[in-house]
Chain A
Amino acid sequence: MYWYELMYLIRQFELMAEEKYKMEGKIRGFFHAYVGQEAIAAGCMTATRIEDPFVTGYRDHGLALAKGVSPESCMAELYGKATGCAKGKGGSMHFFGKDVAFFGGHGIVGAQIGTGAGLAFAEKYKGTDNVSLSFFGDGAARQGILHEIFNMAMTWKLPAIFLCENNNYAMGTSVARTSNVQDIYKLADAYEMPADSIDGMSPEAVHDAVARAVKRAREGGGPTLIELKTYRYKGHSISDPQKYRTKDEVEEYKQRDPIEHVLNTILENKFATQEEIDAINKRVNDKVAESVRFAEESPWPNEDEVLKDIVMEPNYPFIVD
């Protein structure tokens, strides 16, 4: 039920935000939707604790919502409002929620793989048993930083889990066209890192694989690479005409929709009645509608915010001419 509600929230949030972008022009900038990949967020949440730090790339709305950044502050961030989860300074690609250990959406492909290892380094150094989860796409798997980080994470047995959300396309370039090695989980072999390849459309499969990796990391066994085979229904970004794939291919994946799948499981096993599902749907839809109302009514950031949050030092002498 948690999975269903979370995935439905992410889906409805994204669809609403896309509408506000396309139909009303209230959201601007690059916008990368998580639609189709919700099962990953759901499975990861039930396999981790809130203190476990997450870091991801620019397709970050779903994971931020999953971690517990409020839909209101997420929508306000998309609107660029002062009440946003990054005060309107981040935008779609840079959601943050440090209080829920969400270390942000990052815009440089693959750079967050290093951040995640650093978050894990700090947890190990401080003697906690927290585990970091770093999310990246199949495109980022071709960046050099991945190899440098895999090497050090294994050498130092960092409590880091690397999750490759393989949605088949690095923007418009299919996995098959980016490397001789198409099974991304095999990249771990060069560092003798444990790795798994998982159906990323199934929250159960994601949960089980992440739970195994988390257990190993908490016990000092070091990192794991998990390749999550998933699919984004939407384009790479909101402006993507998607000429590199067929409509049939998209439809085929939609047949395996994770939300439909969980809903069917719930209803077939009578975990909940249709009425209860309807109540969840209404609650989520109300929440999303409320997030829009909140974002629209929120103020823009004050213009003096331009020179705030740049340095921690309170009296920094900015150059103003």
Chain B
Amino acid sequence: MARIITIREALREGMSEEMRRDPNVFLMGEEVAEYNGAYKVSQGMLDEFGPKRVIDTPIAELGFAAIGVGAAQNGLRPIVEFMTWNFAVLALDQILNTASKMLAMSGGQVSCPIVFRGPNGSAGQLGAQHSTAFESYYANIPGIKVISISNAYDAKGLMKAAIRDNDPVMFMESELMYGDKGEVPEEEYIIPIGKADVKKQGRDVTIVSYNKMMKVALGAAAELEKEGISAEVIDLRTIRPLDWMTILESVKKTNRLVIVDEQWPMCSVSSEIAYRIQKEGFDYLDAPIRRITAADAPLHYAPNLVAAALPDVPKTVNLVKEVMYMKK
């Protein structure tokens, strides 16, 4: 029996089920408890689990991230919510220099099982400082895992996997998608970290994306379908480790690859994918690998500038036609 729930409900179910299962799991962050979450992801969790396990923090990202990291080293499994990943930059020292390196520096003695989660990327006219997509920043770091979700089913299954994982996991959501509804099974399920998902089968071109850019990828595929072009669409779901085998298998069939990526272009997720596929799949490619990223600039405020700076369906359709040599 499947149910239709929102992404915020799916995330909440994932966290709550794991908190019922393991008393060492707890949630901390700004406004997660009494306010029920800035985006209502943790609504009702304080009532169920009490203030010991659902903890409001002061606005001190570095400090509460540090407490989470220290607690993780000493036997707990914290979930630390950032109101947005833009604010997590203040905590990057703890994530990069402590959480990601502790196992290595201690010669395998001290692990750090912790989940950092929150919304990521642009969300309309929020201006430059609330609009950065951070997947590529964290994906660069050895020792951690990076998940970026696009739908309710993945949100719940991957949240449960992230909490049970024994390494630090960065879990990226989107303000714009918390209300998106999707089908979720009644029974318990877990989605393994590091597995991409082929959302739509196709023959002519492979489109790879993740997080809310999946809407662009799927929208473009639907448009292309009308013109008789069959696009295969892959949702990465996990950015690190990257499931490039699934992309390669698809490219072997379609011989063309387009990546839709909300990162800035330099050293982006698409850069890494393009490297990997040219190396492993050179003989299968009938066209250069192409990508659409966010513009190489901070995101401005005006609505037309937001639209101009981000990937969208028409840009993606055009790019697919270019790699199919259909454009004049």
Contacts and interface: CB of A to CB of B under 8 A. Distances in A.
A joins B in a complex: yes
B75 interface: yes
B194 A317 contact: yes
A115 interface: yes
Interface string A184-214: 0000000000000000000000000000000
Given A103-B110, A115-B98, A311-B143, A122 B104 contact: no
A96 B103 contact: no
Contacts of A117: 63, 66-67, 70
Contacts, number: 151
Q: How large is the interface on B (under 10, 10 to 19, 20 to 34, 35 or more residues)?
A: 35 or more
Contacts of A53: 74
Contacts of B304: none
B30 interface: no
B129 to A, nearest CB: 19
Nearest to A146: B63
Interface in B57-80: 57-58, 60, 62-76
A179 interface: no
Interface string A70-89: 00000000000000111111
B70 A121 contact: yes
B74 A86 contact: no
A321 B279 contact: yes
B228 interface: no
Interface string B255-276: 0000000000000000000000
Interface in B133-172: 142-143, 145, 165-167
Contact of B106 (A86, A107, A114, A317): A86
Contacts of B145: 311
Interface residues of A, number: 48
A107 B97 contact: yes
A310 interface: yes
B226 to A, nearest CB: 38
B102 to A, nearest CB: 8
A114 B63 CA distance: 6
Contacts of A55: 70
B75 A122 contact: yes
A126 interface: yes
Nearest to B70: A118
A317 B108 CA distance: 18
A152 B279 contact: no
A280 interface: no
Interface string B232-273: 000000000100000000000000000000000000000000
B3 interface: no
A308 B106 CA distance: 11
Interface of A: 53, 55, 84-90, 94, 96-98, 103-104, 106-108, 111, 113-123, 125-126, 144-145, 148-149, 151-152, 155, 308-313, 316-317, 321
Interface of B: 24, 26, 52, 57-58, 60, 62-76, 93-94, 97-98, 102-111, 113, 142-143, 145, 165-167, 194, 241, 279
6 contacts: A104-B105, A111-B93, A125-B52, A148-B63, A309-B103, A312-B111
